[in-house]
Structure formats: structure tokens, C-alpha cells
A = this chain, B = another copy of it.
Amino acid sequence: MRLRLTPRDDSYYEMFTDFANNLVIASRLLVELISEDADRETIAEKMRECEQAGDERTHAIMRRLNESFVTPFDREDIYRLTSSLDDVMDSMDAAVDFIGLYQLDRLPKGIIDQVGILERAAELTAEAMPRLRSMRNLSGYWVEINRLENQADHVYRRLLAHLFSGRYDALTVLKLKDVVDQLEAAADAFEHVANTVESIAVKES
């Protein structure tokens, strides 16, 4: 029999996976929201539930951290990973909020590409989280997220050029820019999640 000095605490991997799965749901709500004839109020309501579920997960992880003596990796990294996941959720939620708040009935087509990238990033993140346990096969994940973020950047800049092309009045530009900026911030936050995972892997290696 082997003594185990450090109890295995698998709950973190489950909590991060759970959080990332919640982001997949949220990103799909975004895809739905921008499709034609979407029932915006129902979707906004579901998004709010997602955001609250994210907040609860954040606090559950923090509470767990409070009670654990041994953690699978640095407390500070757990803290940072949780914040970055939370940032993704906040930005996606804010984008939906702005669309409702500004009563934006028509959105430029490029937003479909932005939202598609977010959905893909959410899926990759949800697939990577369980691999934190073994710390194996993670580099493919962060390389791909970095690639997606570059693509998101490209789409974002094309959208800005479109917004300023003269087709929209200044107030409409301001409103649409708030939405587009939040979606870009969500892509950036996915990259921060990936960077934190990379930095954890770097330390563990």
C-alpha cells in the first residue's frame, strides 16, 4: 500500500470543465441571438441565467480554495484561471445586454464570424479543461486559441472598417461598436485563459 500525502483533489478539474461547458452554452445563445427571427427576450433571459451560473461557479471555486490545504496547482493560478473564465462570460453577457439596451434590430453580417469564433473557442476550452489533470496534450489547445484570436482580430478590424464606411450615422456606430468591442474582448479573454493554462503547464513542466 502506498501512502498518499497529498489527497487527490479532482474537484477543480471538474469545476473548470463545468465552467467552460457553461461558456459553450452561452456562445451558442449568442449564435442563436443574431440569427433572424430570434426570440431575443427569451435568449437574453437564458443568457442572464448562464451569467448567474458562472458567478456561482466562480464563488464555488473560491470557497473550495478556501477549504483546501493542498491544491493541484498554485492557488494564484487557480484564482487567475477562474477570473479569466469569468471575464469571457461577462463580455458575452454584456454584448447581449447592449443589443437589447440599444434596441439594435439590424446587426452587420461580420458579427456572425465573430460569434462563430467564440463558439469554437468555447468548445476548445471545454475540451482542454479535463486535460489539466494530466497536463498532457495541452499545447495544441493554446496554439489553436492563439490562432483563433488572430482570426478574431482580423474579423474585428474588418467590422470596424465597415462601421466607419459611411453607411451608419455616428450614434449607430457608437452603439454597434459597443457590441463588437465586447465580442472582441471575449475573444481576448479566451486567449488569457489559454495563456494561464500555458503558464501553469510551464511551471509544472
A interface vs B, CB < 8 Å?
62, 65-66, 75-76, 79, 83, 97-98, 101-102, 157, 160-161, 164, 166, 169-171, 173-175, 177-178, 195, 198-199, 202-203, 205
Kindly identify which residue among B62, B101, B175 contacts A157, using a CB–CB cutoff of 8 Å.
Answer: B101
Given contacts A164-B102, A170-B174, A171-B173, contact A157 B202 (CB under 8 A): no
Tallying the copies of this chain within the complex gives: 3
**In the bound complex, do residue B171 and residue A75 qualify as a contact, i.e. CB atoms below 8 Å apart?**
no
Give CA–CA (A55, B205) in the complex, Å. 22
**In the bound complex, do residue A79 and residue B171 qualify as a contact, i.e. CB atoms below 8 Å apart?**
no
Q: Could you pull out 29 A-B pairs where Cβ atoms are within 8 angstroms?
A: A62-B198, A62-B202, A65-B202, A66-B202, A66-B205, A75-B199, A75-B202, A75-B203, A76-B199, A79-B202, A83-B195, A97-B157, A98-B160, A101-B157, A101-B160, A101-B161, A102-B161, A102-B164, A160-B178, A164-B171, A164-B174, A164-B175, A166-B171, A169-B170, A170-B170, A170-B174, A171-B173, A174-B174, A174-B177
Known: A79-B202, A169-B170. 8 other contacts (CB 8 A): A65-B202, A75-B199, A75-B202, A75-B203, A102-B164, A160-B178, A164-B174, A164-B175
Give CA–CA (A203, B175) in the complex, Å. 42
Chain B residues, Cβ within 8 Å of A76: 199
Chain B residues, Cβ within 8 Å of A205: 66
Chain B residues, Cβ within 8 Å of A177: 174
CB-nearest residue of chain B relative to A178? B160
